Copies of this chain bind each other. A is one copy, B any other.
């Protein structure tokens, strides 16, 4: 998973486990696809396959919402779409602001997946005066000075931070002070927020690093020695102050640094 919870004691909100909540959007997407193809009902097995999970998990997940299926038949697609949408709070309109209109911010502004789920981009905000007024995704970029005004006038409770890491905490503080209580953070930094504010983070580089970890494994344990040798040339390993007995699994730091 590309993201991680922050500042929420993994406790169940009204009995629904966090892990289940995180999968509801997946089910919803699969169901929307079925709905568009006018499929009336679907079994847990079929829906699970479409969502990429196993059917026991799906049934367990749905059991937290209520008994929305019919034994021997399956689930009514339209009915389930409605129930999950309602559970996720998508039956209402969520105005969202995006702060930091660089490459990523602009991409987010143009991303179609938001509008189709009840999220409305209410404003684009950037600190660069040169950006002010410039249209992005058919919408003029506004200056950070007006952040508080924009938040309150639009009743925004969800903010997206796509600024450089250095500006993120400051932007976060201003968003929170202005009344935002949920933040999606794309900046590669840990945000600290008061109790009651939710932060979710997406870090593109972290995802790649996790892939690299597994990729390294696949390369084979028997090739590990050769890899360690190559690695010594790729980065400059730091010298340990005192070379005392470490018990790492293998590959202690090379004692001699390559010039």
Which residues of A are interface residues toward B (Cβ below 8 A)? Answer: 1-6, 8, 13-14, 21-22, 24-26, 28-30, 50-52, 65-68, 76, 78-79, 81-83, 85-94, 96, 102-104, 106-108, 110-111, 113-114, 116-119, 157-158, 160, 181-184, 188, 190, 196, 198, 200-218, 227-228, 230-231, 234-235, 237-238, 240-241, 246-249, 251, 253
Q: B residues within 8 A CB of A8?
A: 214
Contact A117 B209 (CB under 8 A): yes
Contact A246 B90 (CB under 8 A): no
A211's contact among B51, B92, B200, by CB below 8 Å, is which?
B200
Q: How far is the CA of A93 from the CA of B13 in the complex (A)?
A: 43
Q: B residues within 8 A CB of A196?
A: 218
- How many whole Å from A98's CB to the nearest CB in chain B? 11
**Which residue of chain B is the closest to A49 with respect to CB atoms?**
B190
Q: B residues within 8 A CB of A94?
A: 208, 212, 215
Contact B213 A21 (CB under 8 A): yes
Number of copies of chain A assembled together: 2
Known A4-B22, A90-B212; judge A111-B248 contact (CB<8 A): no
Q: B residues within 8 A CB of A118?
A: 212, 234
Contact A158 B208 (CB under 8 A): yes
- How many whole Å from A128's CB to the nearest CB in chain B? 16
Q: How far is the CA of A227 from the CA of B88 in the complex (A)?
A: 13
Contact A181 B93 (CB under 8 A): no
Contact A158 B111 (CB under 8 A): no
Q: How far is the CA of A188 from the CA of B119 in the complex (A)?
A: 16
Q: B residues within 8 A CB of A215?
A: 89, 94, 157-158, 181-182, 198
Q: How far is the CA of A108 from the CA of B204 in the complex (A)?
A: 8
**Which residue of chain B is the closest to A93 with respect to CB atoms?**
B234
**Which residue of chain B is the closest to A137 with respect to CB atoms?**
B103
Q: How far is the CA of A22 from the CA of B210 in the complex (A)?
A: 6
- How many whole Å from A201's CB to the nearest CB in chain B? 7
